[in-house]
């Protein structure tokens, strides 16, 4: 991948999410049907902590003054009754980082413990799409750099996503730099190419990209909006910020994260990387009222309601449909 600015940040971010992906793939391989039957979430917990440890280590080593707002902290792992879980985290991290001590790893996890806005900060979701991970389906490692309230670098790694809509190869990482576009490549670091949204401008031909889990976004409201738009195509359902990637490369035109209850505040790590990937691919991302996402309030998108991501060409139509169906009036 080639970008003219933020070269070091891009290099570090890509290496970090690829190392984390290696760990996550090894952990996901341990998930068994028996675990699914027992609703055993331990594999995703191990991968979550291990992924955060590796990414935060890399960021801190390269940019020691940069805070990281991550999803996890080591408090739970430090409890005596969690000794077995901690041992698994340590074991998997050591596969990627030979010689890492338990205290090293706990410290790396806690590097991601920032919570306040800073003029320059990173935000990390070490595993976005936990249920997708457990189903051995889609999940993402999402890392974004925010400067002066704007996401300027994004690395979005989707280990189980196909490298293209017509490809059987899986594992792709997307990288975007503000003002310089979005590129993707396979996990082996080859086949880099530019990414662009679709050119579909008719909502009747547009495709929705939705969460598998209805608890993450209101499927009922989405159905009403789809009807208002005259959408005839079947929705693409998948977990995690892989949905942003799907829209960015033109496999769908619309992703809506509609609030499931009044007052819900989205977390920045769920949207920062994906937002830039779509915008730099030529698309548009706002909240349900058409406002730009505001990353100046720490952990949460406190001044926004929901998220709408499109190829840009149908964005105004989607916002109009949200208003027509009453979604924007119900959410405060």
* Contact in structure between 231 and 204 (CB atoms under 8 Å): yes
Active site residue 48: yes
* Contact in structure between 151 and 273 (CB atoms under 8 Å): yes
| CA dist list (Å): 42 to 34, 39, 111, 213, 235 | 12, 9, 22, 20, 31
Q: Which two tokens stand for residue 7?
A: 């070269």
Q: Write b or e for each residue in 281-294: b if 16 or more Cβ atoms lie within 10 A of its Cβ, otherwise e.
A: bbbbbbbbebeebe
**Residues 48, 125, 221, 270: which is the catalytic one?**
48
Torsion sign (Cα): 49, 266, 286, 320: positive
* Contact in structure between 244 and 288 (CB atoms under 8 Å): no
Active site residue 166: no
DSSP-assigned states of every residue in 85-148:
HHHHHHHHHHHHSTT--HHHHHHHHHHTB--S--SEEEEEEEEE-HHHHHTTS--EEEEEEEET
**Residues 45, 110, 125, 130: which is the catalytic one?**
130
Query: How many angstroms from the chain centroid is the CA of residue 225?
Result: 24
| Nearest of 66, 60, 49, 51 to residue 122 by alpha carbon | 66
Q: How far is residue 250's CA from residue 244's CA, in Å, rounded to a whole number?
A: 10
**Residue appearing with tokens 């840009």:** 312
| Nearest of 9, 14, 36 to residue 175 by alpha carbon | 14
| CA dist list (Å): 33 to 28, 30, 46, 323 | 12, 10, 18, 43
Q: Which two tokens stand for residue 47?
A: 């991968």
Instruction: Provide the annotated active-site residues.
Output: 48, 130
């Amino acid at each position: 991948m080639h970008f003219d600015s933020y070269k070091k940040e891009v290099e570090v971010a890509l290496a970090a999410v690829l190392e984390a992906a290696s760990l996550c793939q090894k952990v996901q391989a341990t998930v068994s049907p028996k675990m699914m039957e027992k609703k055993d979430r331990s594999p995703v917990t191990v991968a979550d902590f291990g992924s955060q440890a590796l990414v935060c280590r890399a960021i801190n080593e390269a940019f020691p003054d940069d805070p990281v707002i991550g999803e996890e902290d080591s408090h739970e792992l430090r409890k005596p009754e969690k000794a077995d879980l901690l041992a698994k985290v340590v074991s998997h991290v050591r596969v990627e980082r030979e010689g890492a001590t338990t205290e090293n790893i706990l410290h790396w996890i806690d590097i991601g413990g920032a919570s306040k806005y800073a003029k320059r900060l990173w935000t990390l979701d070490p595993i976005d799409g936990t249920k997708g991970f457990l189903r051995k389906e889609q999940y993402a490692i999402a890392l974004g750099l925010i400067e002066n309230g704007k996401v300027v670098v994004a690395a979005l790694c989707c280990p189980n996503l196909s490298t293209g809509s017509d490809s059987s190869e899986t594992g792709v990482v997307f990288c975007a730099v503000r003002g310089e576009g979005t590129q993707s490549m396979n996990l082996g670091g080859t086949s880099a190419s530019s990414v662009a949204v679709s050119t579909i401008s008719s909502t009747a031909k547009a495709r929705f990209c939705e969460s598998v889990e209805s608890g993450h976004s209101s499927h009922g409201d989405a159905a009403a909006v789809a009807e208002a738009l005259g959408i005839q195509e079947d929705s693409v359902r998948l977990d995690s910020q892989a949905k942003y990637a799907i829209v960015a490369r033109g496999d769908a035109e619309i992703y809506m994260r509609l609030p499931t209850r009044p007052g819900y505040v989205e977390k920045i790590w769920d949207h920062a990387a994906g937002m830039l990937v779509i915008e730099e691919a030529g698309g548009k991302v706002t909240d349900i009222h058409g406002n730009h996402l505001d990353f100046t309030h720490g952990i949460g998108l406190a001044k926004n309601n929901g998220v709408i991501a499109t190829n840009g060409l149908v964005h105004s139509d989607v916002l109009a449909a949200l208003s027509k169906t009453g979604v924007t009036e119900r959410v405060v």
